[in-house]
Amino acid sequence: MAVPSNSRAILLAIFIAFGGFLFGYDIGVISGCLIMPDFVDRFGQENPDGTFTLFSSRQSIITSLLSAGTIVGAIAQAFTSDRFGRRGSILIWSAIFTAGTVIQTGTVHSLAQLVVGRFVAGLGVGALSAIVPLYNGETAPKALRGMLIVLYQVQIIMGIFLSYVIDLGTHSISGPASWRIPVGLQMAWGVILLSGIFFLPESPRHLLGTGREDEARAVIAELNSVPENDPAVVQIMEELEFGIHAENDGGQATWMECFSTRNMLWKRTINGMMLQFIQQLNGQNFYYYYGDTFFKSAGTTLSPYVIQTILGAVSVAGTLPALYLIDTWGRRRSLMTGALFEAMCALIAGLVGHFLLAPSGTPQADLTPTNKKGGDVLIAFAVMHVFAYSIFWGPTPWVYLGESFPLRVRPKGIALGSATNWVWNFLLSFFSPRIADDIGPLILLIFAGMLVFGFCYVYLFIPETKGLSLEEVDEMYRAKVLPWNSNGWRPSEKHMHEKVDTQMADVREEKTKGDDEA
């Protein structure tokens, strides 16, 4: 018996996680473009004196059309993932994303062309935000699954950081190159993912689910770097066939089945959607979008581009410990620890910002000693908040989403979770400025309250899935294990063997009947 190696699976996971890079880069790059002079002159509205201004209404259209596209793409990928497979679906949506970036880069003065390109690119970004956790969850070894899905969040943050760095480097260029270079680079990122057609295998779970057993066996052997007749391949094939056979009882899955009582699917779907909802209301995006305003009131002389770059670098640094903690601390502990720490940061930053900083626009702003001390405290806790988010709530909801559903409804369940993320991303970016105009830094108390709610929700409803295969996660939900008792839970070996033996006998009997009828 050969010793299985996970090197091939790890390399594939790193490549597929590049879909997250597209996600992060596209989100980050536009924020810098919105204040570039040439971009404003081309897509802003003309003032009576002949100058141009990109008013908030147009900024909202430019930024929100991406989110609108991502919501549609996250749902639509469920159809392509089932019909064309995970590999084919990745290629389709990568091509759509690339087409969207071509449309954006090619515009001269047309706001309509720009926002249509943003929408089309958003379709690809939203679809890939669901497919990447789906693919990595199905191909990763269970001992490494958490870490490999975390790579998706790492790539998101790397994309955001690189977009900030490129915006910082090009914003001083005169003419359209200042924004066309950072926007146009996205075409290269799309082409990189499209190159996967030459070496990207299909998910073995999808292959078995569609009756392509020989191909599934070859992929499993390839991912483990062993021969196809190796006992490890035989064992994995039998486990997958058992799980898939059990999942497929009852015919074709529907969207409503995601909320059915069958195998506690409703609970899994609600958990996935709730974690994505709470993630978006952690408060980190408020710092990304509006942190420069807060930092200016704190007395800093840094430009918005430098501020964004600092936040991006802190976020990148935070994702590195997450690669280790996700499979050592586990999902529950990471989420609860992060919720408490981030709530503390948001609470302190909100109160300090409200009581110690001078209101923006007043003469004493940025000058008084009280304001300077308060500004230092606000900046420190804002940075710690973003850092903690990158370790805990940034990656963990995506990991949990990618491993909670049986194959039967997995694309649909992940689509609903991803769409929830994008809906709340859109609502947050739309309403936050209006709320902040009314209550200022006290908006951070809303995020602190949501994080306390998140701690309670995780404790009461989110079971620990660390170290379990996707089939064992399914078994845990079927067994109705209480979340606070789930840490270290394993299915009874005797029980699992009996179920596997019975189920495999049924599978063999059905195959025999099919051969006889043929």
Residue 398 pLDDT more than 80?
Answer: yes
Question: For residues 403 and 467, is the Cβ–Cβ distance under 8 A?
Answer: no
Q: What is the DSSP string of 371-430?
A: HHHHHHHHHHHHHHHHHHHHHTTTTHHHHHHHHSS-TTTHHHHHHHHHHHHHHHHHHHHH
> Which secondary structure element, helix H or strand E, spans residue 52, and what is its range?
strand 52-53
How many whole angstroms separate alpha carbon 344 and alpha carbon 447? 10
* Greater model confidence, 433 or 133: 133
Residue 258 pLDDT more than 80?
Answer: yes
User: According to the per-residue pLDDT averaged within each range, which of 148-157, 263-272, 310-319, 363-372 is highest?
Assistant: 263-272
How many whole angstroms separate alpha carbon 511 and alpha carbon 484? 41
* Greater model confidence, 445 or 362: 445
Residue 12 pLDDT more than 90?
Answer: no
Question: For residues 354 and 441, is the Cβ–Cβ distance under 8 A?
Answer: yes
Question: For residues 118 and 26, is the Cβ–Cβ distance under 8 A?
Answer: no
Beta partners for 13? none
* Greater model confidence, 508 or 313: 313
Which of 120, 121, 133, 127 has its CA nearest to residue 89? 127
Burial of 490 (0-12, 13-18, 19+ CB in 10 A): exposed
Per-residue pLDDT tens over the stretch 466-518: 888 777 888 898 888 999 988 878 886 545 555 545 444 544 554 455 455 54
Least confident of 265-269, 369-373, 451-455: 369-373
Q: Residue 283 gets which letter from DSSP?
A: S
Residue type, 22: L
Please give the average per-residue pLDDT across 99-112, as a whole number: 90
Question: For residues 64 and 408, is the Cβ–Cβ distance under 8 A?
Answer: no
pLDDT confidence of 359, banded at 50, 70, 90?
Answer: low
pTM, two decimals, is 0.74
How many whole angstroms separate alpha carbon 325 and alpha carbon 320? 9
Residue 141 pLDDT more than 60?
Answer: yes
> Which secondary structure element, helix H or strand E, spans residue 195, and what is its range?
none
User: According to the per-residue pLDDT averaged within each range, which of 72-81, 136-145, 279-288 is highest?
Assistant: 72-81
Tell me the CA end-to-end span of the chain in Å, nearest whole number.
36
Q: Residue 485 gets which letter from DSSP?
A: G
Question: For residues 64 and 50, is the Cβ–Cβ distance under 8 A?
Answer: no
> Which secondary structure element, helix H or strand E, spans residue 46, and what is its range?
strand 45-46
> Which secondary structure element, helix H or strand E, spans residue 112, and what is its range?
helix 111-139
How many whole angstroms separate alpha carbon 412 and alpha carbon 280? 20
User: According to the per-residue pLDDT averaged within each range, which of 39-48, 128-137, 249-258, 337-346 is highest?
Assistant: 337-346
Share of the chain above pLDDT 90, in %: 19
Q: Residue 463 gets which letter from DSSP?
A: -
Residue 464 pLDDT more than 50?
Answer: yes
Q: Residue 174 gets which letter from DSSP?
A: S
Per-residue pLDDT tens over the stretch 335-355: 999 999 999 999 998 888 778
Question: For residues 393 and 339, is the Cβ–Cβ distance under 8 A?
Answer: yes
Helix axes 213-224, 231-247, angle to 10 degrees: 130
pLDDT of residue 78: 83
**Helix, strand, or coil (residue 3):** coil
pLDDT of residue 1: 42
Residue 284: half-sphere exposure toward Cβ, Cα within 13 Å:
27
Tell me what the pLDDT averaged over the chain comes to: 80
CATH 1.20.1250.20 fits 255-468, yes or no: yes
Residue 158: half-sphere exposure toward Cβ, Cα within 13 Å:
16
Query: What residues have CB less than 8 Å from 65, skipping those under 6 apart?
Result: 115, 116, 118, 119, 122
Which of 90, 91, 87 has its CA nearest to residue 202? 87
Per-residue pLDDT tens over the stretch 146-200: 777 777 778 888 888 898 889 888 888 888 999 999 999 999 988 888 887 777 8
Which of 8, 406, 461 has its CA nearest to residue 206? 406
pLDDT of residue 491: 80
Residue 361 pLDDT more than 70?
Answer: no
Per-residue pLDDT tens over the stretch 229-238: 888 888 888 8
pLDDT confidence of 458, banded at 50, 70, 90?
Answer: very high
How many whole angstroms separate alpha carbon 127 and alpha carbon 80? 10
- H helices present in 225-368, as ranges: 231-247, 265-280, 284-297, 304-328, 331-356
Please give the average per-residue pLDDT across 305-325, as a whole number: 84
* Greater model confidence, 382 or 1: 382
Please give the average per-residue pLDDT across 260-277, as a whole number: 91
CATH tag, 1-200: 1.20.1250.20
CA 206 to chain centre: 22
* Greater model confidence, 435 or 513: 435
* Greater model confidence, 205 or 265: 265
* Greater model confidence, 275 or 326: 275
Per-residue pLDDT tens over the stretch 40-90: 888 888 888 878 887 767 777 787 788 788 889 988 888 888 788 888 888
Which residues in the chain are classed under CATH 1.20.1250.20? 1-200, 255-468
How many whole angstroms separate alpha carbon 455 and alpha carbon 427? 22
pLDDT of residue 356: 74
